[in-house]
Structure 1
Amino acid sequence: MKVVLEKVFPLAATVDNAWQLMQDIEAVAGCMPGAKITERVDATHYKGTITVRLGPAVMSFKGDIEVVDLDAAARSLHLIGKGADTSGTSAASMDLVAAVQASGEACELVGKSEVTMSGKAASLGGRLMGPVSEQMLKQFVANFATRLQGMQPQPGAVPASAAPGETGSQPQPQPHAVAPDPSPPPPELNGLALAWAVVRDWLRGLFSRKTA
C-alpha cells in the first residue's frame, strides 16, 4: 500500500534557520513522534527506529536512512528510509524530498513523500493510512516549528562581542538567552490517537458544511 503526500507549511522563522535545522538529520528525525536515530554509519547513512502503538499492539521498526542529496543552493533534502518490524511481519519505506523557501521575512516548508507499507502494518492501517499519514506529517511539522522557535533570538538578546582593542577574550554571559530546546516527542507513535484525530477533523468538516 502506497501513500503520496505533497504539502506546503508556513514556518515562523527565517529561511536560513530552517535550512540550518534541516541539515541536522538527527534533529529532523527527532521531530517525528516515535522515531530515533540510533547510529550514524557515515555522513549520508544512518540507522534508526520508530515505534508505533495500535491499541494493545506495539510495533517497533528498525531500518536504514540514506541522505541521497543535500542541495545547499536549493535548500533541499532528499531522504530514503527502509525498515522492517522486529517481528518480521511488516515492512515500510519512505522517499522524502523537502525544501525550505523564503516567504517574506519567514519561510515555507515544501515537501513530497511516498510512504509504502506491507504486511501486518498495512492490513491494520487499511483505508486510514492516508489520513493518518497526514496527521503524522502535521505532528512532524509542529515539532519542527517548535525546534525552530528555539533557534530564534529572543527580544532584547544582546549579541556577544569583544571589547574594542581586545583579542582572545572569553565571551561574557548575556542577560537574555535563546529559548531552550523543546520537549522531546512521545517515545512512541500512538496510531489510535492519530486515527481519532482523523475522525475528529472529518466530523468538524461535516458539521461545518451542515451549518453553512
Structure 2
Amino acid sequence: MAMVIEGEERIAAPVETVWRALNDPEVLKDCIPGCQSLEKKSDTEFAAVVSLKIGPIKARFNGGVELTNLNPPRSYTISGEGKGGVAGFAKGGADVSLKEDGPDATILSYQAKADVGGKMAQLGGRLIESTSKKLASQFFADFNARVSGDAEEAESA
C-alpha cells in the first residue's frame, strides 16, 4: 500500500549549508526517527538500523539508505528500504529540492513516497498514512532545527 506525502520547510541557512547537511550521515542519523545506526558504505550508500512503532507493532528494521539523482546543491532523491522480520518491510523515498530564499535561507520542498508490506500492511491505510506523514514531517522539522541551530552557532562563533 503506497502513499505520497508532500511538504516544505523554510530553513534559516544558506543552500550550500543545507546541502552539506543532507549528505552528512551524522545529521541524517540524528534526524531519521528511530534511527539507531547509520553507517556509510560509500558516498551515496548507508547501512541503517531503525526502530519504529506503528500502531501496536514495534519493529526493528535493518536496511539501507541510498542517495540518487544528485544535482548538487539543488536536489536529490533519498530512499530507504528495511526488513522488519515478522512485522514486514517498509520502503520509502523522498525527492528533495532546495531553493534560495534570500542569502541566508533555503526553502526545502519534499515529495515522499512510502510503501509497507507484511503484517504492518494489515494495520489499515489510515494508521499507516498518518504515521508516515508524522515520520516525514518529524524528520524534516528535526533536520530544520538542527541545520538552523548549527548555522546560528557558526555565526556567533
TM over 0.5: yes
| Aligned-CA RMSD value | 2.3
Larger % of strand: which?
2
Distance 2:43 2:28 in 1: 15
Distance 1:155 1:34, change over 3 A: closer
How many residues get paired? Answer: 156
Residue deviations 1:137-195, cap 9 Å, x none? 221122111211232245983xxxxxxxxxxxxxxxxxxx4xxxxxxxxxxxxxxxxxx
Q: What runs of 5+ residues in structure 2 fail to find an aligned partner? A: none
Aligned to 2:90: 92
Q: What runs of 5+ residues in structure 1 fail to find an aligned partner? A: 158-176, 178-212
Larger % of helix: which?
2
Code of the residue aligned with 1:102 in structure 2: it is E
1:56-135 equivalence runs, <5 A? 57-73=57-73, 75-85=74-84, 87-105=85-103, 106-135=105-134
Code of the residue aligned with 2:32 in structure 1: it is M
Give yes or no for the alignment of 1:39 onto 2:39. yes
The higher relative CO (CA closer than 8 Å, separation ≥ 6) is in: 2
The TM-score with structure 1 as length reference comes to 0.65
The Cα shift of 1:54 comes to: 4.5
The Cα shift of 1:83 comes to: 1.4
Q: Tell me whether 34-43 or 113-122 shows the greater mean CA deviation.
A: 34-43
- Share of identical aligned residues, percent? 28
Look up the SS of the partner of 2:41 in the other structure: strand
1:189-204 equivalence runs, <5 A? none
Residue deviations 1:29-53, cap 9 Å, x none? 4202202444322222211011112
Look up the SS of the partner of 1:88 in the other structure: helix
Aligned to 2:151: 152
- Report which of the two structures shows the higher radius of gyration computed on alpha carbons: 1
The TM-score with structure 2 as length reference comes to 0.85
Stretches of 4+ aligned residues off by more than 3 angstroms: 54-57, 153-157
Distance 1:54 1:19, change over 3 A: closer
